[in-house]
Every structure is written in structure tokens, then in C-alpha cells.
């Protein structure tokens, strides 16, 4: 064991090939004590080192049940926080690059959610009438907020079941931070647009009148994903002029207008499964992150399936992209040498209540 942790600077000039060798050697040394989780949006050079890949729900459930001492999460910050909350106290969660955040998650913070809750309380009894729901793409203190207010977490693959659970308890939902997941899900559950309002957190009372708030069933935080907002309905129309037989598949973080034109809507895991299970010689236009789409395209082309990326411009998640082989080699070699770097530790004060809202979600399955 070396005496102190090696700095990241020692790795920044290594080639990807050199990193591959060092990652493989470190993983070999660590054996079952370490598991590398990889979200579907990770770049190929990192994704190939993942022991388990998946969407947010699959990876958080895996972290909750993993026996490994170290969970190295190739994803973004909120995902590593969830792994830390759900894993045992003696397990250690590591995020290879601490700058790997989520711009959508940053659109809601505890201060503006608490202020909004107080404002809602001036119009109605929020505690009695509203269930707060946070998309898993959010900071741990917001999951704790939901835990304290008898709310819940959802992911892109279980939002419908979660909203159903909420409406059995109370008549309204405050949904943050992604307006699109909330709107797309609620609309497909039969909630009309007239009963949904967008809460503009930059404005007093969300920019809404008392009447709008009282009449709403879904109060949708005005957050969005900068990657998924690149997809537009006209891209579908233009593509279909050339290939009318194309099936459209979208992540629910895309806009309502895009999802309206989609044949299938679902999480990253669901998108992969649907195209993999489809008949040969089918054509797919996909509205989600580029790394996933490129890999899927390669994977299914031998079956005669054609996979296309919806946007004419590159729509990559720049924060997912931060995790590179150099950072992965750095954290794994240090671990193999007995040094933990970049550990993600959720504040104890938030952990219990955040776990409550995550457990409420996991209990539905």
C-alpha cells in the first residue's frame, strides 16, 4: 500500500489505452470488493468497464442490494448520492469526477422548493392536499424534503406508478424539477392540460394566480433537461417525409410536443429493450442522449435495424461526459492501493428522510 493517494494530475496525460490496462489491473486486484456501475449515457471508453449498466432505477436498486464494499458510480452526482443513501453504512460510494452534475437537478434547490411550499401554503393547506414528488434527478436534500412531507421519489421508468400512488393519497402533486416528465406522465394518465400548471420558481407564487393553483392537479416545476430540449417535433416530421415507416421512441424528458408524436416513451433502459426486441428491418428515430443512440445503432445494425438520432446537432450530456478513463483509472488504482478518493457522503441530517422517500418508491415494485 502506498502512503498517500496519488493525485489526478498523474493521470491526466495518460492515453486511453494506458488507462484501459490500468483500470483492468486495478479491477482484477479489487475483485468482488468493488463494483463499477455505468449509466447508459456514459461514453464508450468508460462504459465498457462497467460491471453493471442501466437506467437510474436499475442502478439505484443494484446499489441498494450490492454486497461490494466499494461502489464506483460512472454517472452523475445525484446517482452517486442515491447509491450512498441506499447502500449499507460500511459501503463506500465513489464518483470518479466530482464535477459530473446534472443541470436539470440544479434547477431546483432546497431554498426555492421550501419557499414555493410556503407560498402554496398561503393559498391552500399544502400538507393536507399536495404530495411533493421529486424526480430522482435531484439533490439529496430535496429527496429529504419529500420524505419530511410524506412525498416520494420517481424515476423515468416508474413515474406513472408513483403518480398513481400519490393521487390515492392526496388530490394534488408538486412535481420537480422536470416539468416534461411530470406533464408527459400525467397527460397519459388522463389528466387534462387544463389541470396542469407550470410553476415558475423565479417568480413570486410561481407566476400563478390563486385560482390557477386551486384548480390544478399537477403543479410542474419549470425545470428541463438541456439535452432533451434539443429534440423538436419538426425533426420528426422532416425525417418521416423521407422514411414514413419510422418508429419514434423518446425519453419522457423530451417536450410534450415530441412525446405526442412518439410511438414509444420510456427510460433509457426501456428504449434499449424496445429497439432490441423489435422486428428486424425496422427503422427508429430516437430522442435521447447521443452515446446511447450511437451504441444502440452499432448493436442492432446486423439485424437490419436502422437507428437514427433525432436531432441534426450533437446532443450529448456534457456532465456525463466528464467521467473519462483517466478519472476512472485514478479512483480504481487508488482504491487498489487502499485510498478512497472522491467519496460521496450524503449529510446524515438528510440521509434518513431521503431514504424514506426512496424506500416509498422502491416499495411500489
Residues that bind ligand SF4 (CB under 6 A): 76, 102-104, 137, 225-227, 253, 289, 317, 319-320
Residue 85 is placed in which grid cell? 443513501
Q: How far is the CB of 82 from ligand 13P (least distance, A)?
A: 11
Q: Which is nearer to ligand SF4, 218 or 227 (CB)?
A: 227
Sign of torsion over alpha carbons 115, 121, 127, 133: negative
- Closest alpha carbon to 267 in 361, 159, 363, 132: 159
Largest CA distance in the chain: 65
Torsions phi, psi for 48 (to 5 deg): -65, -15
Q: Which is nearer to ligand 13P, 336 or 354 (CB)?
A: 354
Could you give the CA distance from residue 145 to residue 44 in angstroms, rounded to a whole number? Answer: 36
Q: How far is the CB of 229 from ligand 13P (least distance, A)?
A: 11
Could you give the CA distance from residue 327 to residue 205 in angstroms, rounded to a whole number? Answer: 43
> Alpha carbon of 350 to those of 297, 347, 361: distances in Å?
41, 5, 17
Contact partner, 103, from ligand SF4, ligand 13P, none, Cβ < 5-8 Å per class: ligand SF4
**Interactions with ligand 13P, residue window 127-146 (CB under 6 A):** 137
CB contact at 8 A, 50 and 74: yes
Sign of torsion over alpha carbons 110, 113, 118, 121: negative
Could you give the CA distance from residue 194 to residue 210 in angstroms, rounded to a whole number? Answer: 15
Q: How far is the CB of 59 from ligand SF4 (least distance, A)?
A: 12
Contact partner, 42, from ligand 13P, ligand SF4, none, Cβ < 5-8 Å per class: none
Q: How far is the CB of 60 from ligand 13P (least distance, A)?
A: 9
Could you give the CA distance from residue 56 to residue 137 in angstroms, rounded to a whole number? Answer: 9
Q: Which is nearer to ligand SF4, 104 or 300 (CB)?
A: 104
**Interactions with ligand 13P, residue window 233-262 (CB under 6 A):** 253
**Interactions with ligand 13P, residue window 152-181 (CB under 6 A):** 155-156
CB contact at 8 A, 247 and 263: yes
291 binds ligand 13P (CB under 6 A): no
Q: Which is nearer to ligand SF4, 181 or 335 (CB)?
A: 181
Contact partner, 268, from ligand 13P, ligand SF4, none, Cβ < 5-8 Å per class: ligand 13P
Could you give the CA distance from residue 108 to residue 137 in angstroms, rounded to a whole number? Answer: 10
**Which residue is listed with cell 441506499?**
86
Each residue 29-68 as x (binds ligand 13P by CB under 6 A) or -, in order, gives -----------x--------------xx------------
Count the site residues for ligand 13P by CB under 6 A: 10
CA 104 to chain centroid, in Å, comes to 9
Contact partner, 97, from ligand 13P, ligand SF4, none, Cβ < 5-8 Å per class: none
Contact partner, 319, from ligand 13P, ligand SF4, none, Cβ < 5-8 Å per class: ligand SF4
Q: How far is the CB of 318 from ligand SF4 (least distance, A)?
A: 8
CB contact at 8 A, 321 and 283: no
- Chain residues that interact with ligand 13P, rule: CB under 6 A: 40, 55-56, 137, 155-156, 225, 253, 267-268
Amino acid at each position: 500500500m502506498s502512503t498517500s493517494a496519488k493525485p489526478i494530475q498523474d493521470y491526466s496525460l495518460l492515453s486511453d489505452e494506458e488507462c484501459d490496462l490500468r483500470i483492468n489491473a486495478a479491477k482484477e486486484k479489487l475483485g468482488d470488493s468493488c463494483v463499477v456501475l455505468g449509466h447508459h449515457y456514459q461514453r464508450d471508453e468508460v462504459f465498457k468497464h462497467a460491471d453493471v449498466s442501466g437506467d437510474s432505477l436499475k442502478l439505484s436498486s443494484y446499489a441498494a442490494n450490492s454486497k461490494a464494499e466499494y461502489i464506483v458510480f460512472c454517472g452523475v452526482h445525484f446517482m452517486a448520492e442515491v447509491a450512498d443513501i441506499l447502500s449499507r453504512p460500511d459501503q463506500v460510494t465513489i464518483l470518479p469526477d466530482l464535477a459530473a452534475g446534472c443541470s436539470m437537478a440544479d434547477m431546483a434547490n432546497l431554498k426555492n422548493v421550501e419557499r414555493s411550499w410556503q407560498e402554496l401554503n398561503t393559498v391552500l393547506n399544502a400538507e393536507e392536499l399536495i404530495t411533493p414528488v421529486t424526480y430522482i434527478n435531484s439533490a439529496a436534500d430535496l429527496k429529504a424534503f419529500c420524505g419530511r412531507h410524506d412525498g416520494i421519489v420517481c424515476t423515468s421508468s416508474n413515474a406513472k406508478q408513483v403518480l398513481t400512488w400519490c393521487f390515492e393519497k392526496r388530490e394534488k402533486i408538486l412535481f420537480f424539477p422536470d416539468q416534461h416528465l411530470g406533464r408527459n406522465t400525467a397527460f397519459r394518465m388522463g389528466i387534462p392540460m387544463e389541470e396542469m400548471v407550470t410553476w415558475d420558481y423565479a417568480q413570486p407564487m410561481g407566476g400563478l394566480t390563486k385560482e390557477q393553483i386551486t384548480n390544478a392537479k399537477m403543479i410542474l416545476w419549470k425545470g428541463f433537461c438541456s439535452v432533451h430540449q434539443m429534440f423538436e417535433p419538426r425533426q420528426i416530421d422532416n425525417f418521416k417525409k423521407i422514411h414514413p415507416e419510422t418508429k419514434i421512441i423518446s425519453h419522457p424528458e423530451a417536450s410534450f410536443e415530441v412525446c405526442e408524436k412518439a410511438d414509444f416513451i420510456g427510460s433509457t433502459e426501456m428504449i434499449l429493450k424496445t429497439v432490441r426486441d423489435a422486428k428486424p428491418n425496422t427503422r427508429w428515430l430516437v430522442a435521447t442522449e447521443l452515446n446511447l443512440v450511437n451504441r444502440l445503432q452499432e448493436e442492432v445494425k446486423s439485424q437490419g435495424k436502422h437507428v437514427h438520432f433525432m436531432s441534426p446537432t450533437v446532443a450529448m450530456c456534457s456532465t456525463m461526459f466528464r467521467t473519462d478513463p483517466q478519472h476512472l483509472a485514478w479512483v480504481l488504482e487508488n482504491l487498489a492501493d487502499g485510498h478512497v478518493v472522491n467519496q460521496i457522503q450524503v449529510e446524515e441530517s438528510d440521509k434518513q428522510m431521503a431514504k424514506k422517500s426512496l424506500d416509498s418508491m422502491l416499495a411500489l415494485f
